[in-house]
């Protein structure tokens, strides 16, 4: 079970790197959907075979919301906005991929300065959570398009989710369902905002919105 969970966490790290290095919105959304399914598998793995009803409900909710609902909302927003690729980000894709790669040892270094967690927590869990948070922040600050910034927000939330699954096992259902509800509302509102921004201004470059004058 430990090796299987570590493999899933490695796949999560690879999806983080893919988000940092890809320009196609459609591909990024599908990568994020796959990451949502992986989070469901992580939730199963950290339970060490003790699958209760609330764990199964949480896993079903994760896969349904992060693997299906969020991607459908984002793909619809992309189609309505009429955009396909991130063009001229503040930080180039090759540089972003390099930063994302360097973020992994940084995440491990940050983990080494935290109090030691119980033996039931996989050793890669906390570094993976930190890595997802750092990649999310990178996407938010280095991209021009609102769609990619939403993807960064979701990647950041996925990192917080991994923390919750690993460290708040007794209250996982309540904590994570509350997070999922907040993120669902945020993604819904962001999708509407992207559509209206595109319709009114013919683009969704967030940096150009600062040029608006009263």
- Residue 89's pLDDT is what? 81
User: What are the angstrom distances between the C-alpha of 205 and each of 83, 100, 165, 192, 202?
Assistant: 11, 23, 35, 15, 9
Check residue 151 and give its pLDDT. Answer: 85
DSSP codes, 43-107 = HHHTTTT---HHHHHHHHHHHHIIIIIHHHHHHHHHHHHT--B--S-SS-HHHHHHHHHHHHHHH
Q: Half-sphere exposure of 119 toward its Cβ, with a 13 Å CA cutoff? A: 0
Q: What pLDDT score was predicted for residue 208?
A: 54
What residue numbers bound the domain in which 99 lies?
Answer: 2-112+121-211
Question: For every one of its 214 residues, what pLDDT tens digit does the chain have, with 9 covering 90 and above?
Answer: 578 888 999 999 999 999 999 888 889 999 999 998 998 888 888 776 566 777 787 788 888 888 888 888 788 877 776 777 777 788 888 999 999 999 999 999 999 888 776 666 788 999 999 999 999 999 988 888 777 888 888 888 888 888 877 776 544 555 555 566 556 656 655 655 555 555 544 554 555 555 554 4
Query: Whole-angstrom Cα distance, residue 165 to residue 40?
Result: 10
pLDDT, position 128: 95
* φ/ψ (deg, to 5) at 87: -115, 130
Q: Which long-range contacts (CB under 8 A, 24 or more apart) does 111-116 make?
A: none
- Predicted pLDDT of residue 68: 87
> Cα separation of 111 and 121, whole Å?
13
Contacts of 66 (CB under 8 A, 6+ apart): 32, 33, 35, 36, 37, 39, 40, 154, 158, 180
Instruction: Count how many domains the chain has.
Output: 1
User: What's the pLDDT score for residue 48?
Assistant: 63
């Amino acid at each position: 079970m430990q090796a299987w969970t570590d493999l899933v966490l490695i796949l999560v790290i690879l999806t983080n790197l893919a988000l940092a290095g890809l320009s196609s919105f459609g591909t990024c959304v599908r990568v994020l959907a796959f990451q949502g399914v992986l989070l469901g598998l992580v939730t199963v793995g950290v339970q060490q075979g003790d699958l209760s009803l609330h764990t199964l409900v949480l896993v079903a909710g994760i896969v349904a919301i992060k693997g299906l609902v969020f991607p459908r909302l984002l793909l619809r927003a992309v189609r309505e906005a009429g955009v396909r690729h991130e063009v001229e980000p503040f930080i180039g894709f090759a540089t972003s991929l390099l930063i994302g790669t360097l973020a992994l040892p940084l995440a491990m270094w940050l983990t080494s300065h935290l109090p030691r967690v119980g033996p039931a927590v996989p050793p890669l869990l906390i570094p993976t959570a930190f890595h997802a948070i750092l990649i999310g922040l990178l996407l938010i600050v280095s991209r021009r398009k609102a769609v990619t910034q939403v993807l960064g927000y979701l990647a950041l939330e996925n990192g917080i989710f991994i923390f919750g699954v690993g460290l708040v096992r007794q209250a996982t259902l309540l904590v994570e369902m509350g997070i999922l509800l907040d993120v669902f509302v945020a993604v819904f509102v962001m999708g509407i905002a992207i559509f209206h921004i595109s319709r009114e201004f013919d683009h969704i470059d967030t940096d150009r919105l600062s040029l608006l004058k009263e």
